Structure 1
Amino acid sequence: MAVAAVFLGLALVPALALLGQGRAAVLWLAVGILALSMVRLQRPNGSWIAARGRGFDVAFGVALAIIIFLLAPYANLPAMQ
């Protein structure tokens, strides 16, 4: 169930970009990264998203999400025609 939710959430990013909603796609990507970081925070033994130590994974994910949120206004993804 969780894998399906992650798949649908990640599939929404290119779908939004193809529909001309570039900024929404970038914001959704940042929300997804932040959600995966919170999952990592709750799973002390690691999971399929674990790369290094728990603290590093969470800090890196949160920092990446913040950077993407801050750069989202500059997203200029052209719509497919």
Structure 2
Amino acid sequence: MLHVLLQYNSKDSSVKLVYEAQPRPRAIASLAGETIVKVACGTNHTVAVDKNGFVYTWGYGGYGRLGHREQKDEFAPRRVDIFT
């Protein structure tokens, strides 16, 4: 079974983390080996949980929104280590 996670970015988004608008969802290569079981998408960031309970976030990182102990935007999924 193939498991992929899709992301979407609109040209109307207030935060531009993708250099050009992506009119269609696309697979995220860095999560190709993971089985993602839950996803939450917002306008500025995304959260995914894999089958082992690991949490990945990406998007706008201002005010610590992504949970990485720093205020930095993430252009690709990054595992949140605060829970490990």
Tell me which interval the TM-score lies in, with the shorter structure as reference length: under 0.3
Tell which structure's C-alpha radius of gyration is larger.
1
More strand by share: 2
More helix by share: 1
Which structure ranks higher in relative contact order (CA pairs < 8 Å, sequence separation ≥ 6)?
1
